[in-house]
């Protein structure tokens, strides 16, 4: 009787080792699925019931949508989707539902999400006499706006930000890379590099020589005292020019349709941090925005932004103002992304060295905000922030008060999202946070980012599938609308040409 448990234990230990040495996501997933079977997680996934979500509501909605789709009732199906579609219906996005199995969650949740996507595809592709193209476009626009969409947010972290490359690689390989990308400081470099590249060009980023990362050149003592910075900003700008080019925000958007958002903080008082993108600063040069977002005080000098004027010339943008590190005002600008781009689901790649050590605890507390420990942590945070604000009132606003203000901003920020991806905390890497990485270092960072993303892939796939289906359907419907408009213009032109012909030349 002792052999089976011993055999199971040895098999599980071997599979855990295999999991640690998997070379790609497909291999990792197959091993993880086998572990789910060995550990009983498969049985948990097949069982609809759980106290962590309203499984009766999800089952009822699933059966209702499936019945309407099979009946071919397009208008009633559209009505049901518009009235009841929600990203966290019945608490089905609860993190606890993704903490049991290594791959996926309750089969009922996955079946419901798949049915919603199937219904949307059915409405998009079907030919219905009472639900034409105009009705479809109106339905998809309104319902997609109500449902929201996801964004990938890349934090600061100096050279540690190369971890983001691995996150990008893993998501891109599974066609899960969101269109909305935000970046601050080091994260802004990666966001911009992705934002100017087409889908088939992104893979070049992951090669050892895919990016010019010769960004850091220490200044001599005299230059450092003159500029108030240890590193050469011109060297960083040359590096960014090689990687990003001369695109403005709107030019990058027109090329790739990716929405790149870069945070910058003011170097002077009486200014607020800004989120730069193709809506708020369309003609600002992307590389200068990234340069400003990377300008860590004392490391790189403050930056004046540049933009293209109406004649296409590069000119100063707000020439009297200078900008610095975006993490000081908004490492993760969630509220502004929500207002500008209808984002309500945040995938965060977090590499800030002062945050990463606490990310595992933040993940454990997600979905379990009750209890004395979370309450105590929140009280300490609020108390510390209040003390900082009180101290600012009694200090010189242009001296110590400004320093405390920046510390207060850092303390009060939120550094986690709905899904968090972060590296293992390695103090050794902190020593090289402002140094140029070697090719072997880049590969280690990319591999680290990939491996940290793999356990989150199925959760990301599930929680973004509906919004991705909305985007795909709207793209197809708009293309169909444009095709019809072109055909209509050709028909109108032909009729106009016939009407202008002399009467004697018109065939009887």
Averages of pLDDT over runs of 10 residues in the chain (508 residues) are: 70 94 96 96 97 97 97 95 91 95 98 98 95 96 96 93 96 98 95 96 89 77 70 87 96 97 91 94 97 91 95 95 89 93 96 86 66 45 50 52 53 86 74 73 92 98 97 95 88 75 54
Strands of 248-349, DSSP E: 259-266, 274-276, 305-308, 314-317, 323-324, 343-349
What pLDDT is stored for residue 46 in this prediction? 97
CB atoms within 10 A of CB 508: 2
Task: Encode burial over 330-361: b for 16+ CB neighbours within 10 A, e otherwise.
Answer: bbbbbebbeebbbbbbbbbbbbbbebbeebee
DSSP label of 233: H
Q: CA 131 to CA 73: how far, in whole Å?
A: 10
What pLDDT is stored for residue 502 in this prediction? 61
Domain spanning 149-352+415-455, CATH architecture: 3-Layer(aba) Sandwich (3.40)
Residues forming CATH 3.40.1090.10 domain(s) in the chain: 149-352+415-455
- Chain center to CA of 272: 23
pTM for the full predicted model: 0.88
To the query of whether residue 325 is one of the catalytic residues in this protein, the response is yes
To the query of whether residue 185 is one of the catalytic residues in this protein, the response is yes
DSSP label of 347: E
Instruction: Return the bridge partners of 119, or none.
Output: none
- Chain center to CA of 433: 23
What pLDDT is stored for residue 397 in this prediction? 55
List helix spans (H) across 325-432: 327-330, 334-341, 356-365, 372-393, 400-412, 427-430
């Amino acid at each position: 009787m002792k052999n089976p448990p011993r055999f199971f234990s040895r098999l599980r230990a071997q599979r855990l080792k295999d999991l640690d040495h998997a070379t790609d996501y497909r291999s990792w997933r197959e091993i993880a699925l086998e572990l789910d079977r060995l550990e009983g997680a498969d049985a948990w996934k097949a069982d609809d019931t759980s106290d962590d979500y309203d499984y009766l509501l999800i089952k009822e909605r699933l059966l209702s949508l499936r019945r309407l789709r099979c009946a071919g009732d397009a208008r009633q199906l559209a009505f049901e989707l518009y009235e009841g579609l929600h990203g966290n219906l019945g608490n089905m996005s609860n993190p606890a539902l993704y903490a049991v199995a290594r791959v996926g969650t309750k089969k009922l949740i996955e079946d419901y999400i798949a049915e919603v996507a199937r219904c949307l595809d059915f409405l998009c592709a079907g030919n219905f006499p009472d639900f034409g193209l105009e009705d479809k476009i109106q339905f998809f626009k309104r319902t997609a706006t109500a449902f929201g969409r996801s964004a990938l947010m890349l934090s600061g972290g100096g050279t540690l930000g190369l971890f983001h490359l691995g996150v990008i690689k893993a998501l891109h390989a599974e066609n899960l890379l969101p269109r909305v990308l935000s970046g601050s400081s080091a994260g802004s470099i990666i966001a911009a590099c992705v934002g100017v590249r087409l889908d088939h060009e992104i893979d070049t980023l992951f090669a050892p020589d895919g990016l010019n990362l010769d960004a850091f050149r220490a200044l001599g003592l005299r230059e450092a005292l003159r500029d108030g910075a240890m590193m050469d900003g011109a060297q960083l700008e040359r590096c960014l020019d090689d990687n990003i080019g001369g695109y403005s925000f709107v030019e990058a958007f027109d090329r790739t349709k990716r929405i790149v958002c870069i945070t910058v903080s003011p170097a002077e008082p009486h200014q607020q941090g800004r989120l730069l993108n193709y809506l708020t600063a369309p003609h600002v040069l992307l590389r200068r925005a990234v340069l400003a977002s990377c300008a860590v005080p004392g490391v790189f000098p403050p930056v004046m932004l540049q933009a293209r004027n109406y004649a296409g010339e590069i000119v100063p943008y707000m020439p009297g103002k200078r900008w610095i590190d975006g993490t000081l005002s908004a490492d993760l600008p969630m509220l502004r992304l929500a207002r500008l781009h209808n984002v309500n689901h945040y995938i965060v790649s977090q590499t800030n060295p002062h945050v990463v050590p606490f990310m595992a605890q933040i993940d454990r507390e997600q979905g379990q905000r009750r209890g004395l420990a979370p309450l105590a942590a929140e009280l300490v945070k609020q108390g510390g922030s209040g003390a900082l604000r009180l101290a600012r009132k009694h200090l010189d606003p242009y001296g110590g008060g400004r320093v405390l203000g920046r510390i207060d901003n850092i303390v009060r920020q939120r550094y986690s999202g709905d899904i968090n991806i972060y590296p293992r905390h390695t103090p050794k890497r902190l020593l090289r946070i402002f140094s140029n990485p070697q090719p072997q270092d880049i590969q280690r960072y990319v591999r680290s980012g990939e491996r940290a993303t793999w356990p989150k892939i199925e959760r990301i796939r599930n929680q973004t599938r509906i919004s991705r289906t909305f985007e795909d359907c709207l793209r197809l419907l708009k293309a169909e609308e444009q095709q019809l408009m072109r055909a209509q213009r050709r028909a109108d032109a032909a009729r106009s040409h016939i009407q202008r012909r002399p009467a004697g030349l018109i065939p009887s």
